[in-house]
Each structure stands twice: as structure tokens, then as C-alpha cells.
Amino acid sequence: MRAFVITKYKEALHEAEVAEPVVGERDVLVQVQAAGLNQLDEKIRLGEFKQILPYKLQLILGNDVAGTVLRVGSKVTGFKPGDEVYARPHQDRIGTFAERIAVAEEDLALKPVSASMAEAGSLPLVALTAWQALVERGHVKPGQKVLIHAGAGGVGSIAIQLAKHLGATVATTASSSNAGFVRDLGADIVIDYRTEDFEQLLSGYDLVLDSLGGQNLQKSLRILKPGGKAIGIAGPPDPAFAHAAGLNPLLRLAITGLSSKIRRQARKLGVSYEFLFMRANGNQLRQISKLVDSGVLRPVVGKVSPFDQAPEALESLAAGGFRGKAVLTLTT
């Protein structure tokens, strides 16, 4: 089986022949037809998450998949060969930059009927991130005010649409060239991050979804109303994440220290900060499929590259220059 693998951190991806996936009794073997590219893939390649994601090398990258079911395990009841599916595999079973992947049944869903394979492959990680931030953690309700940073990006472009569907007033940061695009997605207020300071323009917000971290996160705390919440997907990790991830006591202590400053700042302001590292969830993907097929959510694919250009496509993520997600497509 062809796949793109890394053999050590900070090394480029290399195409190689690897063993066929092992299909357990509750697994589904998927023929990969599209795989989304994410900043997470590059961070893993660079070893930035070695402490909390201790992957063994050689490693096949890839956190999004859309494709067709080839075979199912003996105890699988929800899928059959020929089904068109999509998933964000469990973090311990990533590897969608390959011809085939075995995915746990519970992490898989039928892809939206109205979406192409490339569109479906763009969705799982970013749509699950948006859902878990806004629905599961944020409990966004009609009439609330939500700020979503980097609205033209992969997470932002889906989160704007979902927040608007939930009834929120939505503000976002974007470049002036993307202002019309994010308004079309549903943003009510667009702030040009190059020329305007969102902290000077916004106040009294219920929720902020921050994908940038650092000073941007600190400023985000200050535009929240008392009791408001900032959810960060760029870090720093917090003690609740360390506990849920089952990290050892030393790592839990270190992570507590990493986020102590931002949590202390939040407490002084009467608000809260939570770190979100999204998780695989087939049930949530089924809800997302319904929203796509009903026209509530529109996948945004800004760049499509063939499978054999995976290394170049991954490296180009940092340069940006496109809206939404980049996707690899694989034909056999």
C-alpha cells in the first residue's frame, strides 16, 4: 500500500510502501479518496506535540478522510461495502495520507450526500472542532455574541456558519480581501486584523473561539462579558485537558504551569479559559452531515492537490493564500 510517512520528526514526508491496515472486528476499511490537510499535521511532523501525542515512527500523517468502504469487521453493523463515508480517525489511529485506512466504526459517518469527496474530506477535523467548541463546550444560544478569529480559515469558515445557525451575533477577524467572503458565510461584524484592533471595537461577548493563541488570546479575554468563555485551539493546554488525556503526573504538572498565566488573567476578569483538542466522534459527524445536506453548512475547499504532491501541499499551508481547507485527492 502506498502512503506518505515520516521516519523522524522535522523530516519531510516520503512516499513508501507500507503494510496493509489491520481491520479489527469493529473497524471499517476505507478506500481513501480525499484527505484534508491541517496545521495539526505539520505540528505533528515538527514534533510540537511530542509530549501529549507520543507517536511512534515511522508515522503516516493525515487527520481527515473521505472515501468508500471496502470491508467491515465482523461486529460492524452500521456500514457496508460501497458506502461513502468520512471521518476524523481517533488520534491514536491517524494516517489518512495513504491509499487505505482502518477506522473505528464509532468514529465514522456517512458523508453528506450533497458534498463531493473533496468537500467531505475537508470537513471532519474543522467541523468537529467548531461543533465541540460552540455546541458542546460553548452552549451557544440565540441572542448571544460570539467572536471567531481567522474567519476565512478552515475552522473559522465552518464555525461562522454554525454560530449563525445557532442564533448568535457573529464577529470575526479577517483580511479586507476576505471581508465579503466571511459576510457571505454569516458574519455580522468583520474586523480587518491588519488595520483594526478587535479589542477596541468589541465588548460584552459571550464566547471567543481563538485559533491563534499568545497575545491574541489575552486580548480575547478582555472583550468577554463577566462569565464569558474563551476557547483556545492553539493552546496553551489546561489541567482539564491533561486529566482527560490521562497524562502522567509530571506532564500534568507541566501543563498546569503552561496555562497558569492565562487562567489567572481570566479569573481576574471574571471569565474563563478552556483548551480544546478536538476528538473523533461519528455521532457528531452525522449531525454535521444533516446540516450540510440541508444547506446550513457549506464546505469551503480552497485548494486541491493530487496525492503524490502531499509533501509540497503540506509545506504550503503556512503560506496560506486560499480560503477554507486544502485537500489531497487520491485516484487509483
Calpha distance 271→91 (Å, rounded): 30
pTM over 0.75: yes
Condensed to tens digits (0 to 9), the pLDDT of residues 145-180 reads: 999 999 999 999 999 999 999 999 999 999 999 999
- Residue 175: HSE in the Cβ half-sphere, 13 Å Cα cutoff: 8
Q: pLDDT tens, 196-243? A: 999 999 999 999 999 999 999 999 999 999 999 999 999 899 999 888
Type and span of the H or E element at 39: helix 39-45
Closest CA to 71 of 79, 60, 63: 79
Where are the alpha helices (H) located in 198-306, listed in sequence order? 198-201, 214-221, 239-244, 249-269, 282-293
**pLDDT, tens only, 12-21:** 788 999 999 9
